Amino acid sequence: MNKVAVLPDDAPHILLVDDDNRIRALLSRYLNEHGYRVTMAEHAASARQRIGALAFDLLIVDVMMPGENGLDLTRWIRNDSSVPILMLTARGDPNDRIQGLEIGADDYLAKPFEPRELLLRINNILKRAAAPAPAEPVRDVLTFGDFTFHVARGELQQGGETVRITERERDMLRLLVERPRETVDRLALAGPAGDSANERTVDVQINRLRRKIEKDPGNPVYLQTVRGTGYRLMVDM
């Protein structure tokens, strides 16, 4: 029996959505052997649940699935996410490829394919996604759910009412909104004199902040943990 590779905490995380059990098993093992963490979903409904609970670096979505197909799922994802999507299909019709790209897929691969070609396409997509974007000024007002954070004032509001936060919580929020939806490591959140001891206190402070902004702090929606690295704030885009 093949053992699952032990991957570093920052290994890219892929969601593989395909109704074919054999393909899911083969691709999951292959990608794991090449340094990718893989979560699997057998249909669109399962994929929606996983997308709601976890952060992914790339999605691999099969077009031909029973019920909600891959094109419909991609449309739903693109309503509020720019996560890279690679679509798989058994169809040879170029119109399907065009439709997939028009609704926001980043690449398209027809079955059958060589796993090595899939790996190359994944690598290329992630390289493009990681390319630095032109610097943009930080927005002064950011929202997540029914919360609003006014950066200049350092004021957090919920439904127009001010939420009381500490100076440390205010500083952490400012750092998190400077890089919305991106990972901010613990050392940065620990402040100018950050060290391993201060990094450990960050976890406690983050938990306190979660109790103010999360309905269920144990299963955070907005202030997410990036295991082994830090945290990210899932602001509305």
Which domains are seen in the chain, by residue range?
A: 13-130 (3.40.50.2300), 141-233 (1.10.10.10)
Sheet of 107-110, strand order: 37-41, 13-17, 58-62, 85-89, 107-110
Between residues 40 and 125, the one the model is more confident about: 40
DSSP designation for 106: S
Question: Averaged over 68-76, what is the pLDDT?
Answer: 92
Q: What is the pTM of this model?
A: 0.56
Q: Is the pLDDT of residue 132 over 70?
A: no
**Which residues on adjacent β-strands are paired with residue 226?**
230
Q: Is the pLDDT of residue 205 over 70?
A: yes
